[in-house]
A and B are shown apart, each in its own frame.
Chain A
Amino acid sequence: MSQSNSLAVSSGHLAPGTALRRAPFRHLKEKLIEFVLLGAALVAVFTTIAITVVLVYESLGFFEFVSLWDFLTGTVWTPLFAEPNYGVLPLISGTLTVTAIALAVAVPMGTTIAIYLSEFAPHSVREVVKPLLELIQAVPTIVFGYFALLFVTPLLQDTIMPGLAGFNMLAAGLVIGIATVPTIASLSEDAMRAVPMSVREGAYALGAHKLGVAWKIVMPSAISGVIAAYVLAAARAIGETMIVAIAAGQNAVFTFNPTEGAATLTAFIAQVSLGDLPHGSVGYRSIFACGLVLLVMTLVLNVIGHVLRRRYREAY
């Protein structure tokens, strides 16, 4: 024991591992850093938990005053009136109408652009168009809201729809559609480009023409990624706030008529948040109930997308 001790002392700083012994906390420090990094990664998990807990907790407070049945089946939404009504259907109809218009624009356009860029466009065109499309995604949506209210609506009124209301879901939906085209185009194109070249070459060897290959070979092979793109675009359209808050108006009307103005779930949340409702009041809690509905809608969408992707997945 004493011998080994003296050996270590006599060999001094030349002994291998001395530097390690001089840093006795080296191992501890490594462990500590790993824990800190794990903590950073866990922020994502905590965010999800916190979102769920906050929305459910505040909504439970809301449902103490309003029965779940009235909330889900009522067709009048006037939570801020002296005699409040809490039927969420008008907000859901607004959200669905706007989303449907947006998808009616974005799905055909985005898919066409994706196929064009992936299968038809020369390399130089793709190199220019892709970054420009990504630029659309970078534009703050409030800028698009301004565009919808003060350009698209007057344009529609002057040309094909003279009787269109100043606030309407049509203009908002169209602009959201254009704003989500890049999401679909970009993600679908990535999926199509991932289809192996040999699959296309096989089709060409059998005498298929370009459009046939794109539509009957590449599209089915890439369908899993394309569906994921559609789901993300639909989720974006449902959650879009500023374009509808500016261009579709603030009145909760139970209608699916796109030429009318109607509030969506998101527009209502924004509208209430801008006023000053006392913390803890039913009106204050109603926005969390709306947020919960919004979250459930995106969740359902994601589950549907997941199931579809599973069913139609092609693996190479």
Chain B
Amino acid sequence: MNPGSMSSRTEVDQAHIRALVTSGKRKQLLFAIAGLTCTMIALLTLLAAFLQLLIDGLPRLSWDFLTNFPSRHATQAGILSAWVGSAMVMVVTMLAAVPVGVGAAVYLEEYAPRNWLTDLIEINVTNLAGVPSIVYGLLALGLFVYQFGFGESVLSAGLTLALLILPIIIVSTREALRTIPGNIREGAYAMGATRWQMVSNHLLPYSTGGILTGVILGMAEAIGQTAPIICIGALTFIAFLPDSPFGGSPPFINFSWLFSEFTVLPIQMYNWVSRPDKAFQLNAAAAGVILLAMTLLMNGLAIYIRYTVRKKIKW
């Protein structure tokens, strides 16, 4: 081999490598553009959905819209029974889901021995998160409405949504408990605390932020749920309110509202959107704006709490 052919060989190799690098960089750039495009498409679709809802719905929003019952005349119809119903269902959901969800999380994180029962519970919590929401509705229809005899009531709806959001609360509570360092637990035991004293005086107060985040996210999920509530037979046209929970005479609190018929915001919206009349579809958009605003507000609150808690606590 003479030196001349050697150098030309290297030049060929170098040219080849340069071509490879150039094509690699080009592919890289093309892919980055593709990634950005996909992201923009997803976000622009979201933006389009929001804008369309706002443009259609905002003109219909007024005080009367919030304080009127549904009506045959689109312009007089309102969402009073719907938002009152939603609020009542949410109260039941929260009262049922929070103690059970937090209790289950505390058990799994702090008490559970490593055995088949714990494994079974873990598998179920994971799998339940993947069950379609309408299946929860069928469960509630068979179990709460007919078997337990709760009827097509606020109570049935609240319990159904509670089961639905249970995995969300359990997962976020467990995450919050897991971030508390072990020496906090050991410290409490060293001072003679029992396990429950350790949990109730230390772990739960320290994980309030994380639990709250999970609860709010769960409630935001629950308030937009339509399918399971349709299943248990919520009505679409309700021109009355359930009894007030606070009576004028002793004992001042009554529970008949739990068994009252009801409707909720997303169902009112579904009812209006499925009518061919354009005026009712605008009503649906207005109800959608309120629903969306509440969901986004709750999600924002959850993000805010998560952020402030993360900044405040330093172990």
Interface flags, B65-96, vs A, CB<8A=1, else 0: 00000000000000000000000000000000
Interface flags, B119-140, vs A, CB<8A=1, else 0: 0110011011011111111110
A298 contacts B130, C-beta separation under 8 Å: yes
A116 contacts B106, C-beta separation under 8 Å: no
- Residues in chain A near residue B274, CB distance under 8 A: 246
CB distance from A229 to the nearest CB of B (A): 12
Q: Which of B4-12, B178-186, B281-289 contacts A (4 or more CB under 8 A)?
A: B281-289
Q: Which of B207-215, B245-253, B254-262, B291-299 contacts A (4 or more CB under 8 A)?
A: B291-299
Interface flags, B96-127, vs A, CB<8A=1, else 0: 00011111101110011000000011001101
B31 contacts A116, C-beta separation under 8 Å: yes
Task: Pick the residue among B99, B121, B130, B196 that contacts A33 (CB under 8 A).
Answer: B196
A241 contacts B227, C-beta separation under 8 Å: yes
Report if B158 contacts A (CB, 8 A).
no
Given A41-B112, A138-B299, A242-B270, A143-B288 contact (CB < 8 Å)? yes
Interface flags, B164-197, vs A, CB<8A=1, else 0: 0011001000000000000000000000001110
What is the CA–CA distance of A142 and B221 in the complex, to the nearest angstrom? 12
A41 contacts B107, C-beta separation under 8 Å: yes
Report if A40 contacts B (CB, 8 A).
yes
B46 contacts A135, C-beta separation under 8 Å: yes
Interface members, chain B 194-240 (any A CB < 8 Å): 194-196, 217, 220-221, 223-227, 230-233, 236
B196 contacts A29, C-beta separation under 8 Å: yes
A146 contacts B226, C-beta separation under 8 Å: no
Report if B18 contacts A (CB, 8 A).
no
Q: How many residues of B are counted as interface, with CB atoms below 8 angstroms from the partner's CB atoms?
A: 88
Task: Pick the residue among A44, A241, A273, A276 that contacts B166 (CB under 8 A).
Answer: A44
A212 contacts B227, C-beta separation under 8 Å: no
Report if B58 contacts A (CB, 8 A).
no
CB distance from A251 to the nearest CB of B (A): 14
Q: Which of A48-56, A86-94, A192-200, A252-260 contacts B (4 or more CB under 8 A)?
A: A48-56
CB distance from A240 to the nearest CB of B (A): 8
Interface flags, B261-289, vs A, CB<8A=1, else 0: 00000100110011000000100110010
- Residues in chain B near residue A145, CB distance under 8 A: 270, 273
A58 contacts B130, C-beta separation under 8 Å: no
Interface members, chain A 272-310 (any B CB < 8 Å): 273-274, 276, 279, 287-288, 291, 294-295, 298, 302
Report if B19 contacts A (CB, 8 A).
no
A45 contacts B124, C-beta separation under 8 Å: yes
Report if B49 contacts A (CB, 8 A).
yes
- Residues in chain B near residue A273, CB distance under 8 A: 137, 141, 230-233
A298 contacts B131, C-beta separation under 8 Å: yes
What is the CA–CA distance of A144 and B133 in the complex, to the nearest angstrom? 16
CB distance from A47 to the nearest CB of B (A): 5
- Residues in chain A near residue B166, CB distance under 8 A: 43-44, 47
What is the CA–CA distance of A38 and B120 in the complex, to the nearest angstrom? 12
* CB closest chain-A residue, reference B221: A138
- Residues in chain B near residue A236, CB distance under 8 A: 132
Report if B42 contacts A (CB, 8 A).
yes
* CB closest chain-B residue, reference A144: B49
* CB closest chain-A residue, reference B124: A44
Given A43-B100, A138-B299, A239-B133 contact (CB < 8 Å)? yes
B28 contacts A210, C-beta separation under 8 Å: yes
List 10 A–B pairs whose Cβ atoms lie within 8 Å, in order of A's numbering: A113-B35, A135-B299, A142-B273, A151-B52, A241-B134, A246-B270, A269-B137, A270-B134, A288-B142, A295-B135
By Cβ-Cβ distance, the 8 closest A-B pairs, closest first, are A239-B132, A116-B35, A140-B224, A209-B24, A40-B103, A54-B142, A241-B227, A37-B107
Known A41-B103, A58-B142, A140-B224; further 16 A-B contacts with Cβ < 8 A: A37-B104, A38-B111, A51-B138, A116-B35, A116-B39, A139-B292, A139-B295, A141-B224, A144-B49, A209-B21, A209-B24, A209-B28, A241-B227, A242-B227, A291-B138, A298-B131
